[in-house]
Structure formats: C-alpha cells, structure tokens
C-alpha cells in the first residue's frame, strides 16, 4: 500500500468497512449524521479514495466496496508511526505505550502469547 489515508479519508473508510458494500448516498447520510459533513464533501472524499485505489465504485447506485482491509491500513499506519516517531524501533513504541498506565495481568498474558506466537 503506497498511498496514505488522511484523517477525513479514514473516517469515510470506517463507514465503508462497517457497512460493506454501501452506496455513496448512504455514506453521505452517515457522514452527515456522525461528522456533520455535507454531501459534496463526502462525495469528494469518496472520489479521492477511489483514485487512490482504496475503494471501487460500481453501478447501479455508486456502490462502494473496499479494496483494502482495515487490518492492512492499521498495519501500514503503525509501521509509518514506528518509522517516523520511534526511529523504526518497535521496542521504543511499546515502551512509550507501557509508561502511561499499568497493564492488567490478562493484558500482559495476551501480549506474551502474541509475542510467543510470532
């Protein structure tokens, strides 16, 4: 995935992932309710997402279907954050996350299992 999602695009993608497939009209109605956007704003973002290859729009009804999964975007964004903010160090990211609040025993065990199963 070469393209980056801007915050506004990510908001629309969340709607698309949630309701997949969904018409552009339905997206605009949900975006108006949740975010307060007008139809033109939402349609502009849908066009950008299509141009970047994140979604496909099909007739009839301008049905929008994601071409990338939410997990793919999460992994790409996490990798970008680690490179930009933590100098590529996952350990530094993990350390920063652990400083703010203590983990429960269940969380520690879940993390331990994730690391062991890598």
Q: How much is the pLDDT for 111?
A: 87
- pLDDT above 90 (res 1): no
**Phi-psi category of residue 69: left, alpha or beta, with phi > 0 → left and psi -120 to 50 → alpha:** beta
Residue range 32-45: average pLDDT?
96
Give the residue among 34, 117, 18 at the shortest CA–CA distance from 69: 18
Range of the domain at 63: 7-70
In a domain, 58, yes or no: yes
Span 49-64, pLDDT tens digits: 999 999 999 998 899 9
DSSP 68: S
Q: Domain containing 50 — which CATH number?
A: 1.10.10.10
From 109, 28, 38, select the one nearest 61 (Cα to Cα). Answer: 28
With respect to residue 62, please indicate whether it lies within any of the assigned structural domains.
yes
Report the number of distinct structural domains present in the chain: 1
How much is the pTM? 0.82
């Amino acid at each position: 995935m070469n393209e980056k999602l801007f915050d506004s695009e990510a908001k629309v993608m969340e709607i698309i992932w949630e309701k997949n497939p969904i018409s552009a009209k339905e997206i605009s109605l949900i975006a108006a309710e949740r975010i307060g956007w007008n139809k033109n704003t939402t349609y502009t973002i849908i066009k950008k997402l299509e141009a970047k290859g994140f979604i496909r729009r099909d007739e009839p009804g301008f049905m929008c279907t994601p071409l990338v999964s939410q997990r793919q975007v999460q992994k790409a964004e996490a990798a970008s954050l680690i490179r930009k903010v933590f100098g590529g160090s996952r350990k530094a990211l993990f350390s920063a996350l652990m400083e703010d609040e203590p983990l429960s025993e269940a969380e520690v065990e879940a993390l331990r299992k994730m690391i062991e199963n890598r």
